Each structure stands twice: as C-alpha cells, then as structure tokens.
Amino acid sequence: EIVLTQSPATLSLSPGERATLSCRASQTISYHLNWYQQRPGQAPRLLIYDASDRATDIPARFSGSGSGTDFTLTISSLQPEDFAVYYCQQRNMWPYTFGPGTKVDI
Amino acid sequence: DVQLVQSGGGLRQPGGSLKLSCGASGFTFRAFEMSWVRQAPGKGLEWISSISSTGRPTVYSDSVKGRFTISRDNAKNSVSLQMDSLRVEDTAIYYCTRVGWNAFDYWGQGAVVTVSS
C-alpha cells in the first residue's frame, strides 16, 4: 500500500497570504496525485487532478506541482473560504489512498 | 449539473446489515466508474470500493473485502453498497463518488452509518 504523508498538519495563516502544502508518497507514483478540499460539514471537493490540472470551476489561485514522490499544493492568496482541510490522494495503484490532511486555519 | 443523491444511512448493531444507494443525474452514468469513500468521525478519508462503468471489475479495500458488495444499475443510473457483518469501526460518513479525470470528481452529500450496540 502506498502511504501518503502530508505536512504540515496545521498551517496557520492570514487572508491574503500564500499557502504551501506538501504531500509525499512512500514510493513513486508518477503524476497520479489528486488534491481535495473539505470544508466543515461538507463533502470533499476535487481541486487538482494529475498533480497539476485544475478541476472544473476551481479558481486559478490554486495550483499543484510535483511528480514521483513529492507534490505541492499552492494557494497563492488565501481567501476566507479557503480555510479548510486539504487531502492528497494517489491513484497510481490499488488501494487508492489518501493523506491524513492539512488543516489551513486562520 | 452533475448530481449524486444518496440514501440509506442509519443505525445498526454489530453484525447487522445496511444498504446504501446513490442516484446519479446530469451525466452519462454508464460511461463512468463509481466509488465509495468513507470518513470516520473526526478522521480522514478512506477509499473502500470501486466499480467499473460496466459493473465488472469491482475492487475493495482490505478493511471491507468479503463484507461489503458494490453494485450498479446502469438502467436506473444508480450505484449501491451492501454492507454486511457490520463492525463498530465501520461507523462513518459514506460518500458516493464519480471517477472522472482519474479522480473522485463529484461527491454525494454523504450518508451517516452508525454501528453500535
């Protein structure tokens, strides 16, 4: 099973600041990495697929990069609605696995 | 618009059974793989099962293999998860998801399953 590690566990920032979230895989997964946002009480929402492609209707302030084992999600300028938990997920091999999440709070 | 509407959550005793359903609309259902993902209270996300667009193959996580069964009805645009031999650790919110762009691109609203004596 591929284990995903996310850092930091919590990121405390202010609106307008840049957020950089990391996801590391226990073995190479090429570009097969997705990112999700989950706000309290809501279902997760796909942000980025295949490491760097934005999903439908996702604002341009969200960007993803990386390949192999190291991946990054960047939020260029935090908006109030961006304070949430972010999960990475690999689809390189079964079982599909998620990271433990990074909470971005104010 | 793509919509996934779930039903069927509830409270069961350990060893019991429950069936979750998910109705899809707004897209060509028969063309997409579907999956179930769950989230235990206060915890992260766990993929548990997927089914191809045709219904075969199906895949399960080790945590539910042999106890849960995923199925779909392309004529009715629906996917289901039959959960048997329920355990306390199966307590979670269960999400129905569409697999698009090699990701879980649309999610249902979630169904709460509580397993407790």
Q: What angle do CA A96, A99, A104 make, to 5 degrees?
A: 140
Can you give the pLDDT at residue B91? 98
Determine the residue of chain A that is closest to B49 in CA distance: A95
Instruction: From chain A, pick out residues whose CB is under 8 angstroms from the CB of B102.
Output: 32, 34, 49-50, 91
pLDDT, tens digit, for every residue of B47-61? 999 999 999 999 999
Residue from B22, B60, B104 whose CB has the most chain A CBs within 10 Å, to mutate: B104
Integer CA distances (angstroms), A57 to A47, A60, A62, A71, B47, in order: 9, 9, 11, 22, 24
pLDDT, tens digit, for every residue of A16-53? 999 999 999 999 999 999 999 999 999 999 999 999 99
Can you give the pLDDT at residue B73? 97
What the block records as the tokens of A8 is 């930091």
Q: Give the mean pLDDT of B86-111.
A: 97
Can you give the pLDDT at residue B89? 97
Rounded distance, CA B60 to CA B75, Å? 24
* Residue B49, CA atoms < 13 Å, CB-side half-sphere: 26
pLDDT at A95 over 90: yes
Q: Give the mean pLDDT of B29-47.
A: 97
Burial of B74 (0-12, 13-18, 19+ CB in 10 A): middle
Query: Do residues B16 and B115 make contact, with C-beta atoms less than 8 angstroms apart?
Result: yes
Percent of chain A with pLDDT over 90: 99
pLDDT at B101 over 90: no
Could you write out the three-class secondary structure of B83-115? ECCCCHHHCEEEEEEEEECCEEEEECCCEEEEE
**Structure confidence at residue B11 as a pLDDT band (50, 70, 90):** very high
Query: Do residues B5 and B23 make contact, with C-beta atoms less than 8 angstroms apart?
Result: yes
Query: Do residues B112 and B95 make contact, with C-beta atoms less than 8 angstroms apart?
Result: no
Q: Give the mean pLDDT of A65-74.
A: 98
> Pick from B105, B98, B106, B61: which is nearest to B83 by CA?
B61
pLDDT at B27 over 90: yes
pLDDT at B106 over 90: yes
Q: Do A49 and B108 touch (CB under 8 A)?
A: no
CA B45 to chain centre: 13
Cα-Cα-Cα-Cα torsion B19, B20, B21, B22, nearest 10 degrees, comes to: -160
pLDDT at A106 over 90: no
Q: Does A32 touch chain B (CB under 8 A)?
A: yes
pLDDT averaged over every residue in chain B: 97
